A and B are shown apart, each in its own frame.
Chain A
Amino acid sequence: MSKTIRIRKGLNIRLKGEAEKVLVQADPPRSVAIKPTDFHGLTPKLLVKPGDPVKAGTPLFFDKYKERVLFTSPVSGEVADVVRGDKRRILEVRLLADTTTQFEDFGAADPSTLNRETIIQKLLKSGCWPLVRQRPFDIVADPDQEPKAIFVSAFDSAPLAPDLDFVIRNQREDFQAGLDALAKLTRGRVHLNVSPHSTAREFLDARNVQHNTLDGPHPAGNVGVQIHHIDPINKGELVWFCYPQDVVIIGRLFRTGRFDAVRTVAVTGSEARNPKYHRTLIGAPLAGLIGEVDGHTRIVNGGPLTGEKDGREGYLGFYTTQITLLPEGDHPKFFLTEGWMGPGFNKFSASHSYPTWLMPGKQYALDTNQNGEERAFVMTGQYEKVFPFDIYPVHLLKAILVNDIDQMEKLGLYEVAPEDFALCEFVCTSKINSQSMVRDGLDTLKKETT
Chain B
Amino acid sequence: MKPAFEEGGKLHKLYWVWDGFETFLFTPGHATERGAHIRDGIDLKRTMAMVITALLPCLLFGIWNVGHQHYLALGELTGPGDGFWPKVGFGALKVLPIVVVSYAVGLGVEFLFCVIKGHSIQEGFLVSGMLIPLIMPVDVPLWQVAVGTAFAVLIGKEVFGGTGMNVMNVALTARAFLFFAYPTMMSGDKVWVSTDLSAGQHLVDGFSGATSLGNAATGHVDRIVSFMDSFWGIEAGSIGETSAFACLLGAAFLLITGIGSWRIMLSMLLGGAGMAWLFNLIGANDYMAIPWYHQLVLGGFAFGMVFMATDPVTAAQTNTGKWIYGFLTGLLAILIRVVNPAYPEGVMLAILFMNVMAPLIDHFVVQANIGRRLKRAAVAA
Contact = CB atoms under 8 A, between A and B. Distances in A.
Interface of A: 13, 15, 232, 234-235, 237, 298, 300, 304-307, 309, 324, 326, 328-335, 338-341, 344, 347-354, 366-373, 375-381, 384, 390-392, 394-395, 410-412, 418, 422, 425-431, 433-436
26 contacts: A232-B376, A234-B373, A234-B377, A234-B381, A235-B377, A305-B37, A306-B36, A326-B37, A329-B29, A332-B27, A335-B45, A351-B257, A352-B256, A370-B32, A371-B41, A375-B44, A376-B164, A377-B164, A378-B313, A381-B312, A381-B319, A390-B373, A395-B318, A410-B370, A426-B36, A430-B164
Contacts of B161: 376
Interface in B31-71: 31-47, 49-50
A237 B377 CA distance: 9
B37 A352 contact: no
B37 A425 contact: no
Interface in B89-125: 120, 122-124
Contacts of A15: 38
B252 to A, nearest CB: 12
A371 B43 contact: yes
Given A353-B257, A366-B38, A384-B319, A332 B29 contact: yes
B370 A411 contact: yes
A17 B338 CA distance: 62
Nearest to B378: A234
Interface stretch (B18-26, B128-136, B207-215, B241-249): B18-26
B49 to A, nearest CB: 6
Interface in B290-325: 312-313, 315, 317-319, 322
Contacts of A335: 24-27, 45
Contact of A334 (B26, B259, B373, B377): B26
A370 B39 contact: yes
Given A329-B29, A381-B322, A392-B318, A369 B39 contact: yes
Contacts of B41: 344, 347-349, 353-354, 371
Contacts of B23: 373
Nearest to B47: A429
A369 B36 contact: no
B46 A341 contact: yes
Given A234-B380, A329-B29, A373-B23, A422 B35 contact: yes
Given A351-B257, A410-B370, A412-B373, A436 B34 contact: yes
B44 A430 contact: yes
Contacts of A306: 35-36
B159 interface: no
Interface string B227-245: 0000000000000000000
B157 to A, nearest CB: 11
Interface in B252-296: 256-259, 261, 263
A13 B39 CA distance: 10
Contacts of B31: 298, 328-330, 368-370
B162 interface: yes
A345 to B, nearest CB: 11
Given A378-B164, A431-B43, A372 B37 contact: no
B30 interface: yes
A352 B258 CA distance: 6
B369 interface: yes
A395 B256 CA distance: 27
Given A340-B45, A370-B31, A373-B23, A324 B37 contact: yes
B145 to A, nearest CB: 25
Contacts of A234: 373, 376-377, 380-381
Interface residues of B, number: 61
Nearest to B45: A340
Interface of B: 23-47, 49-50, 120, 122-124, 161-165, 256-259, 261, 263, 312-313, 315, 317-319, 322, 362, 365-366, 369-370, 372-374, 376-377, 380-381
Given A349-B40, A427-B40, A390 B257 contact: no
Given A232-B376, A339-B27, A353-B259, A372 B45 contact: yes
Residue of B23, B38, B259 most packed against chain A (CB within 10 A): B38
B373 A349 contact: no
Contact of B38 (A305, A380, A429): A305
A375 B377 contact: no
Contact of B315 (A300, A326, A380, A422): A380
Contacts of B24: 335
Given A376-B162, A378-B164, A411-B370, A435 B39 contact: no
B44 A369 contact: no
B376 to A, nearest CB: 6
Given A340-B49, A376-B122, A429-B42, A333 B164 contact: no
Contacts of A411: 366, 369-370
A350 B40 contact: yes
Contacts of A434: 35
A374 to B, nearest CB: 9
A364 to B, nearest CB: 9
A390 B35 contact: no
A340 to B, nearest CB: 4
A326 B43 contact: no
A244 B45 CA distance: 43
Contacts of B36: 304-306, 422, 425-426, 435
Nearest to A332: B26
Contact of B369 (A328, A390, A418): A390
A65 to B, nearest CB: 26
Contacts of B164: 375-378, 430
Nearest to B49: A341
Nearest to A378: B164
A195 B349 CA distance: 51
Contacts of A352: 256-258
A378 B312 contact: yes
A433 B34 contact: yes
A286 to B, nearest CB: 15
Contacts of B362: 395
A279 B123 CA distance: 49
B366 A379 contact: no
Nearest to A305: B36
Interface centre among B29, B31, B120, B366 (most CB of A within 10 A): B31
Given A410-B370, A422-B36, A353 B27 contact: no
Given A335-B24, A335-B25, A340-B45, A394 B38 contact: no
